[in-house]
Amino acid sequence: MRRTCGVAVVLGALAGCENGRPAGGGDVGAPSDTVAFEGVGDFHVATNPNLGRRLGLFARQQFELDARGRGPAAGLVLGVARYGAGRPGVGRYALAPLDRRRPGGRFYAVLVRPAPGGDGVSTFLSTEGEVRITRSGADSVAGTVRFVGAASAGGVDRVVAEGPRVVVVGAFRAARWYPPPEGAVPLAPR
């Protein structure tokens, strides 16, 4: 399975804006629609102090899961992450905004979807909600999410105060991603 870009990389690269305004359309302040998601992807657990410093976090471990939408959810990407703790066990976990000052193992989520009109993308960050891990093993993680997402203001921890909101409801499953050995040369596509 090919690795998608990590949650932090996606958010760092995508401003979540169109023409200087929050992307995504919708009513200001209140959730404008419900986004149904079903997808598959990959996850990794790592100790990466360099990423932590770049994000302003000092995490001992990080857990990141990226899932690509299937069926009606094609084109969507769901990311679930927590910094300061490893792979989660089976259970329910609160989703919240990322707090750079106190990452402390809290989960946050992001939904990236094509912007209205197909010009760019809209990025929504969790403000409240829950992730439920139904399966957690060394090689696979599965679960469900339900969260309110606010339009990103151009980073991993900033939302547009009076911008569009969506409710995200969905399910995911992911296989562990193993990085290629150092010095490995990727195979050319045929």
Question: Nearest-CA neighbor of 112 among 144, 78, 137?
Answer: 78
pLDDT score of 154: 84
pLDDT score of 29: 45
pLDDT score of 57: 52
pLDDT along the chain (190 residues), means of 10: 39 35 42 88 77 53 90 93 87 88 79 82 92 95 95 85 91 87 58
pLDDT score of 105: 73
d(CA 184, CA 159): 39
d(CA 158, CA 156): 6
pLDDT score of 98: 81
Cβ distance 150 to 129 under 8 Å?
no
Per DSSP bridges, beta strands 140-151 and 121-136 are: antiparallel
What are the domain boundaries of the chain? 7-176
Question: Nearest-CA neighbor of 156 among 25, 64, 72, 94?
Answer: 64
pLDDT score of 82: 87
